[in-house]
Amino acid sequence: MEKLQKTVDEWKAMLDPEQYNVCRLKGTERPFSGKYNDTKTDGVYHCICCNEPLFDSATKFDSGCGWPSFYAPIADSAMVEIRDVSHGMIRTEVTCAKCDAHLGHVFPDGPPPTGLRYCINSVCLDLVPR
């Protein structure tokens, strides 16, 4: 996959301040505040920065964590996992494989069939209904 690269000014012009903070500066939205936390709409969630498909709504579940949660990405190649030791803990960050946008983290406490919980910031996503 060819990487999408933009300058800081291009990202700032394209994204609103919260999207920029989360996607480009590895911030996070407040729990239970995101527009997709409770969404049940059938469709595909795309990266807000590059429009790559990331998650299918069929893999979304209510984890109670306050962020949209999925048990699997749309394809293993859709994201990159990075060891994150910030904030005094060890976690696995997930970023968009095409544009390196910070999406959230993946945890080993999800439901079958994968046992994974991709905890993703709503501001990083654009839901395209079917």
Binding site for Zn(2+), residues?
A: 47, 50, 96, 99
The beta strand positions in the chain, using DSSP E, are 43-47, 53-56, 60-61, 69-70, 79-84, 91-96, 102-107, 117-120, 125-129
d(CA 11, CA 5): 9
Residue 43 forms beta bridges with which residues? 129
- 124: annotated active-site residue: no
Known binding residues are 47, 50, 96, 99
d(CA 36, CA 103): 13
For residue 22, how many other CB atoms are within 10 A of its CB?
A: 23
Tell me the three state secondary structure of residue 11. helix
Choosing from 23, 49, 119, 124, the catalytic residue is: 119
Catalytic positions, written as ranges: 119
